[in-house]
Amino acid sequence: MSTTTNRSFWQDKTGVPGTIREAPIPSTLVEDEIFVKVRAWGLNPVDAFIQDHPLPFFKYPLIPGQDIAGTVERVGPGPHSQRFKVGDRVLGYAMGASAMGKPGNGAFQDYVVLDHALAVKIPDSLSFAEAAVFPLCLATAGHALFGSKYLALPPPKAASGSAPRTGKSVLIWGGASAVGSNAIQLARAAGFEVLATCSPRNFDYVLGLGADKVFDYNSATVVDDLVTELDNKGVCAGIFQAAGMTGDAVAPCCQVSHRLRQKPFVACANVVPEGAVPEGVEAKFVFGGEDGRGIYYDTTSQLFGGFLEEALRLGTYKAAPRPEVVRTRGLEGIQEGLDVVKKGVSAKKIVVLAE
């Protein structure tokens, strides 16, 4: 491939594997964009889902993918992008960037254009594979916890790893998922006591991320146990359903809220089905975008350039879940990775390395 050519992984319609095609690299960058050579892609459940099922907010043909880590090749002329320089190692949330000027543009390309605010400089101690686990799952967790339309908790003030405790608790349902792993760390960094659910095989993993207490979501008494524990602790500031599907995860989260004294808000990573929310409980699907700048731009831009960059530099934030790298390198490995994601994962993120 010449340096004037990009390659992208296209999803032309549902029900077919992705196709790799070439396109020219843009000659100019808009204002505060940076141009990045991708070294690793992180794969999310939605990337795999839209291969087989249409979603209303995706129009085919499209370039899927959201999560990348790589090196800066060019920096746009705007003042904000000047905090980056050529050669910087970065992670970035590629969805919502104006890369290549094509509709539905996403991360699965050899080169991507990133909005400066959705990119984070990463330390040398973090591999590209580790860095690629973060963007979408951390953005979703951050929006659920700190977004004004969701739990609206005060975000972390410092990245030092020793936040003063608020005396309030948060429940993360699905603490071993990629979204949950980051929700636990963010909630702890913001000073909240964290209760989490996962399978027993992941208890140590979830406790290692900072959860104070962990419960098996498959237990017949999990709702009772959580209600008892949360009520004993005092104020529950919110519940985040960070894994599972509507019936097996949204519903029990709503039941916990219903039985708690404060009826805390339930932010849901998955769609809230009609009839699942009891009287007196407020539950809402975490989703939204602002002005075409990509979903969660407000909270993500604040977390990425502020807390996350500093916490990664200080080593107070873990790359979680751990990356599992597929055998095939380059865009040719994306389909292999998506096929693994379709089978389901536990406490790991499927990552494809570029080289």
Ligand X SMILES: NC(=O)c1ccc[n+]([C@@H]2O[C@H](COP(=O)([O-])OP(=O)(O)OC[C@H]3O[C@@H](n4cnc5c(N)ncnc54)[C@H](OP(=O)(O)O)[C@@H]3O)[C@@H](O)[C@H]2O)c1
> How many residues line the site for ligand X (CB under 6 A)?
28
CB of 207 to ligand X, least distance (A): 12
Question: In terms of CB distance, is 29 or 43 closer to ligand X?
Answer: 43
Residue numbers 158-187 binding ligand X by CB under 6 A: 173-174, 176-179
> Is residue 62 involved in binding ligand X (CB under 6 A)?
no
Task: State which amino acid sits at residue 196.
Answer: A
Distances (CA, A) of 240 to 70, 93, 251, 256, 344: 31, 22, 12, 11, 21
> Is residue 346 involved in binding ligand X (CB under 6 A)?
yes
> Is residue 347 involved in binding ligand X (CB under 6 A)?
yes
How far apart are the C-alpha atoms of 328 and 18, rounded to whole Å? 15
> Is residue 8 involved in binding ligand X (CB under 6 A)?
no
Question: Which residues are CB-neighbours of 252 under 8 A, at least 6 positions away?
Answer: 173, 217, 222, 223
Tokens of 82: 């000047």
Q: Which stretch binds ligand X (CB under 6 A): 20-28, 42-50, 87-95, 223-231?
A: 42-50
Question: In terms of CB distance, is 225 or 310 closer to ligand X?
Answer: 225
> Is residue 217 involved in binding ligand X (CB under 6 A)?
yes
Tokens of 125: 């101690």
CB of 72 to ligand X, least distance (A): 26
> Is residue 345 involved in binding ligand X (CB under 6 A)?
yes
How far apart are the C-alpha atoms of 81 and 58, rounded to whole Å? 28
Q: Is 48 helix (H, G, I), strand (E, B) or coil?
A: helix
Tell me which residue has tokens 């085919």. 60
> Is residue 140 involved in binding ligand X (CB under 6 A)?
yes
> Is residue 328 involved in binding ligand X (CB under 6 A)?
no
Question: Which residues are CB-neighbours of 336 under 8 A, at least 6 positions away?
Answer: 326, 327, 328, 352
Which residues would be at the binding site for ligand X (CB under 6 A)?
44-46, 136-137, 140, 173-174, 176-179, 197-199, 202, 217, 243-244, 248-249, 269-270, 286-287, 345-347
